[in-house]
Amino acid sequence: MDYKGQPAGNPPPPPPGYGPPPPAYGQQTTTVITAGYPMVAQVFRESSVPMQCPYCHANITTTTTYETGTLTWLICGILILFGLWLGCCLIPFCIDGCKDVVHSCPNCQQTVGKFSRM
C-alpha cells in the first residue's frame, strides 16, 4: 500500500504588517489668500476709463498708449504663413487695433492697467 503524501495546501500566512504607515505630518498647505490685493479690479478696454489711481489715489481718466502685443506678433506670423511676407507682415505693427492698450495715470504716469487682446 502506497500512500500519496498530500502536499500541505496551506501556505504560511504572511507576516503581519505593522499597520498602515503613519500619516505624513509637516505638509501643511498654506492657502494664499489673495484678498486685499492693492490693485483695483478694473476692466480695461481700448478706450480710456475713469478710475481711481491705485498709486496716487486720484480720480483720473486713464491715458491709453498702444503697445505691440501678442496679437500683433500672431497676425504677423499668420501673414508670413500665408506668403504675405513682402513687408505685409509689418501691417499689424501699424494698426492700433492689433495692439495691446496700456492704461496709465496722467497724474503720476504709472501704468495702472493693460488691455490685452489675447
Contacts to Zn ion by CB under 5 A: 53, 55-56, 105, 107-108
As measured in angstroms, the least distance from the Cβ of 104 to Zn ion is 8
Instruction: Spell out the alpha helix ranges (H) of the chain.
Output: 70-81, 91-94
Instruction: Please provide the distance, in angstroms rounded to a whole number, between the alpha carbons at the two ends of the chain.
Output: 92
Q: What are phi and psi for residue 92, nearest 5 degrees?
A: -60, -20
For Zn ion, the closer CB: 52 or 75: 52
Q: How far apart are CA 50 and CA 64, in angstroms?
A: 12
SS3 51: strand
Q: Closest approach of Cβ 67 to Zn ion, in Å?
A: 19
Q: How far is the CB of 108 from Zn ion (least distance, A)?
A: 3
Q: How far is the CA of 62 from the CAs of 17, 49, 101, in angstroms?
A: 69, 6, 11
- Comparing CB distances to Zn ion, the nearer of 80 and 108 is 108
Least spacing, CB of residue 52 vs Zn ion, in Å? 9
Instruction: Provide the residue type at 18 as one letter.
Output: Y
Would you say 56 or 81 has its CB closer to Zn ion?
56
Nearer CB in complex with Zn ion: 42/107: 107
